[in-house]
Structure 1
Amino acid sequence: MGVAQRSKRWAVPVAAVAVVAGVGTLGPVMADASPKLPTISAQDLLAKVQTAKVDGLSGTVSSSADLGLPAIPGLGDRGNSQLTEMLSGQHTARVAFATPDKARVSVLDNQAERVWTTDGSSAWAYDSSKREATKLTLPAHKNAKPEKAEPRSYDPQAVAKQFLDSIDPTTNVAVSGTEKVAGRDAYKLRLVPKTDKTTVGSVTVAIDSKTWVPLDVTVMPRSGDKPAVEVGFTSVSFDVPSASTFTFTPPKGVKVTDQKVPANNGQKQIPKQVVPKQVVPNRVLPRKPVGSGAEKPTVIGQGWDSVVMIRNAQTGGLTGNGPLAQLLAKAPTVQGSWGKGKLITSKMVSALITDDGRVFAGLVTPDTLQAAAAKAPR
């Protein structure tokens, strides 16, 4: 299959039901029996996934992550809770979407609920723990979709797309069997990087045998036998949800902030406080640059060994006695033609924080990360 075909936008609106690269073991998702399905080649399976189209779906998604990062005392407090979520733990979300522009995600954690929902004309972001809600009035545009308003870390389709779009000659692709996911028969498509520069050992995508929609994504590290990332449906229906699913009425006593999203050539500009942080394949970064003075992220390299660089990142919080400062104090100091900085590594993630305010991160080996830093523009 050609690169042009692989990079073609999916007909399934994967961004509509936002999900992360969430990650770990989803015991309830898998059943023991392997269903008997007609033989299909990897090329034909990829073609069906890329042309898959459903008018709507709803279900429950379970995600878990174990990236092998050390524990950081105090990191779960208030503003750091999203970072804790994206790097570890298990989470549950209820998701729904209906074409062309209706979507809802409800994340349930620690007896609290966070909701992102849109009916196409307005969007809501609600956090029950803070008793706060933001209402966005979306500009009228026939091609405008509030894609950035929902967290992709709870969408198996969005997570799968990140990997499938990266397939190139450096990847071995094969149909590795069948399985049951959320009670549905699915093919297993396995991606194995040929390069040893990445920390990713393999990625398995479970693809529904009737709708050809990805139902589950499992990321295995190069070392160890436990998943580093898994996100998948525990239950799913392909019936179109009712319009009322996407409406939202804030509970009594909730503080509501009204905002209007200006039109920008048909592209929605969602305020940054509504957009959660995420982990995406081959990069670890927030949806917005770090710090008010940070530049847009730059991607160095291609495919499995790509690295993201953020320049002018605010690193003032890395000094003093804060939890991140404590972590960096234990991290080794490294230097090269790129300069000097601190290196943080785990079984999946490598991050380099340089003295001149640049941050490099990726699902790559430490040597690959430093090689990318040496090639990066100043």
Structure 2
Amino acid sequence: MAPYEPEQNTSETGELRVGRRKAARYVVPVAVAGVAAATIGLVPALATSGDPKLPDVTAQELIEKIAASDTEQLSGTVKISTDLGLPSFGGDLAGGFAPGSGSGGDGEDGDGKGSAADPQSKLMELASGTHTLRVAADGPDKQKLSVLDDAAEYSLIHNGDDVWAYDSKSNEVYHSESAGKAADSGKGSGKNDLPKDVPSTPKELAEEALKAVDGTTSVKVDGTAQVAGRDAYRLVIKPKQSGSTIGQITVAVDSKTGTPLKFTLTPASGGSAVVDAGFTKVDFGKPAASTFDFTPPKGAKVTEEGDEAKAEKHGFTDGGKEFGGKEFKGEEDLNGLNVIGEGWNSIAELKLPGGQGLPTGGSGDVPPDAQRLLDSLGDKVTGEFGSGTVFKTRLVNALITDDGKVYAGAVTKDALVKAANDAK
């Protein structure tokens, strides 16, 4: 079906700009697995049936409809598939390098470190493979997300003052207090209020994509579709610039509620979508109150937020994210963060802690699995900047120079090398 209006330049429709992408989303100084996982905040593919006839709308009107959507009650099933082009090591790639990951919370060896139910690491598994989720929401204080496996289920429940996570495979429970209760009790920030780092619904994914809309972007309504039995418009977002690894993003928007039902990112290199996330079933009615009830099962190990603070696994720690004996403290260690370029071709430039490149397997500082990941992803490059290694996924690439600088973004290898050369 032909688009409803010609391609729009967002410089002509200033209101289309929802904000700039967060440069930090492209920046993980050492672990490329983390870079790849973060890209799930941008992504997915559109599988639909039928082309329903709907009233014509402009891209501006459809974006306004998304922004005005006030859906707070829904339940349904979401299927999400992610293909970042990472190699398979016969196990859980994303989770394997996450804090507290591995053989359960107290471990087969009884080391008492971490929790298999910790959402900060568990939800990183959505960064690879195909997963089926059940989601439910009833306003800002009641949400539930369950990740379904063949023989197990992981559930994350926010109900009032409490956030519970349960991993049926390990029979472990993780409990934290919501931000409001934690602040009132003086126990901390309530940082485990449902994690925001890994968007898992089409609406969250669409909001992240719309942050990239600016004068470097083409936006149009390109026909209609039917998703989960509901009529929807197809909003297509494309970079105008060359050099980006992003081909286009397609969002299916419910024609009645303005709620994104499905979200697709296709890479510029072609082939399958990097991620395909969308409802297969959806109901905008009020979920039953019992949906959000949770009591730890008999015999389950319960970990309270903070108990895992000193847990250490595979060279990482939950508090400091140690790697190679160096403590990474998040934004505090993004030394001299600088954003090169604009729009879809933005490249984040920063210095690694210590002012040197990645440690090598020969130093004994890198866990074997992590070294295998780095070796399989890396391409050695040279230029006016010196030498370094480019780590690649189908979406985000990162150049780490031997003198400890990082250039990262959803851009090609050549664009990273040029940025490093120009910075000299």
Q: TM-score, normalised by structure 2?
A: 0.69
Q: What is the deviation of 1:360?
A: 4.3
Aligned position for 1:279: none
Q: Distance in 2 between matches of 1:208 and 1:215?
A: 6
Contact (CA 8 Å) 2:223, 2:233: kept in 1 or not?
A: yes
Where do 5+ consecutive residues of structure 2 fail to align? 1-12, 21-38, 102-121, 185-189, 312-317
Q: 1:295 to 1:373 in 2, by over 3 A?
A: farther
Aligned position for 1:349: 396
- Identify which of 55, 69, 83 aligns with 1:52: 69
Contact (CA 8 Å) 1:21, 1:231: kept in 2 or not?
A: no
1:28-177 pair list within 5 angstroms: 30-31=48-49, 33-72=50-89, 76=93, 79-80=96-97, 85-138=125-178, 139-140=180-181, 147-149=193-195, 152-177=198-223
Contact (CA 8 Å) 1:340, 1:354: kept in 2 or not?
A: yes
Q: 1:135 to 1:326 in 2, by over 3 A?
A: closer
2:417 is paired with a residue whose SS is helix
Q: Distance in 1 between matches of 2:403 and 2:80?
A: 36
- Identify which of 246, 249, 274 aligns with 1:200: 246
Where do 5+ consecutive residues of structure 1 fail to align? 9-18, 262-269, 274-285
Range 41-50 or range 320-329, more displaced:
320-329
Q: What is the deviation of 1:134?
A: 1.3
- Identify which of 256, 271, 277 aligns with 1:231: 277
Q: Distance in 1 between matches of 2:411 and 2:195?
A: 29
Q: Distance in 2 between matches of 1:260 and 1:84?
A: 20
Q: What is the deviation of 1:201?
A: 0.6
Aligned position for 1:293: 328
Aligned position for 2:18: 6
For residue 347 of structure 1, what is the amino acid of its counterpart? R
Aligned position for 1:312: 353
Deviations 1:226-270 (A, max 9, x none): 212211111111112233222221222111022379xxxxxxxx9
1:71 is paired with a residue whose SS is coil
Q: 1:326 to 1:232 in 2, by over 3 A?
A: same
For residue 218 of structure 1, what is the amino acid of its counterpart? T
Q: What is the deviation of 1:119?
A: 1.0
Q: What is the deviation of 1:306?
A: 2.7
User: What percent identity do the matched residue pairs reach?
Assistant: 39
2:305 is paired with a residue whose SS is strand
1:154 is paired with a residue whose SS is coil
Contact (CA 8 Å) 2:84, 2:128: kept in 1 or not?
A: yes
For residue 125 of structure 1, what is the amino acid of its counterpart? A
Q: Distance in 2 between matches of 1:315 and 1:92?
A: 36
Q: What is the deviation of 1:290?
A: 6.9
Q: What is the deviation of 1:101?
A: 2.3
2:387 is paired with a residue whose SS is strand
Aligned position for 2:387: 340
1:328 is paired with a residue whose SS is helix
Q: TM-score, normalised by structure 1?
A: 0.77
Mark the structure with the bigger radius of gyration: 2
